[in-house]
Amino acid sequence: MPTPGLELKQERVLAALIENANITKACKAAGVTRKTFYNWQDADPAFRLRLQSIRERMITEALDGLAMRTRAALEAIDAALADPHPATRLRAAQAVLDHLMKLKDMVDVEARLKRLEEMAAQSGKEMKR
């Protein structure tokens, strides 16, 4: 279904991007240059909005794919942690601990951001009085 405000070549390059997930390949398939693609991205709000929508959908699909593989990943880590070779167990343990620390940092940043947003909202309410 065509997007209002987009040219046929813009539609083609966006469709090719969905298929290829690669700007260079999408441009080649649609018969446009990368420079044209980036010009559209910079100057055309309808193109930029549709491109953003496509990217968000691609990210959501990638996250869904990763989530479906979580059980297999955890089983692989469990197997590595039980491996008879100490070096393999150590690498698996380091990976688990590294990711745990990254997760902790993300949770901390999220909590701090939430507090800042609450403070900003409260400050905005007080300024309106």
| 90-122 per-position pLDDT tens digit | 999 999 999 999 999 999 999 999 999 999 999
Q: Is residue 129 pLDDT above 80, yes or no?
A: no
Q: HSE, CB side, 13 Å, CA atoms: give it for residue 114.
A: 6
Under the banding of pLDDT at 50, 70 and 90, the label for residue 86 is: very high
- Mark out the alpha helices in 21-85 (DSSP H runs): 23-30, 34-43, 45-68, 70-81
What is the rounded average pLDDT for all residues in the chain?
Answer: 93
Write down the pLDDT at residue 126.
77
What CA–CA distance (Å, rounded) separates 89 from 82?
7
Please state the domain extents for the chain. Answer: 8-66, 71-128
The pair of three-digit structure tokens given for residue 39, joined into one six-digit string: 């010009």
Give the Cβ contact number of residue 53 at 10 Å: 12
Q: Is residue 125 pLDDT above 90, yes or no?
A: no
What CA–CA distance (Å, rounded) separates 20 from 37?
15
Q: Is residue 72 pLDDT above 70, yes or no?
A: yes
Average pLDDT of the residues in 72-100 = 95
Write down the pLDDT at residue 39.
97
What are the tens digits of pLDDT across the range 11-53?
Answer: 999 999 999 889 999 999 999 999 999 999 999 999 999 999 9
Write down the pLDDT at residue 128.
75
What is the pTM for the complete model shown? 0.63
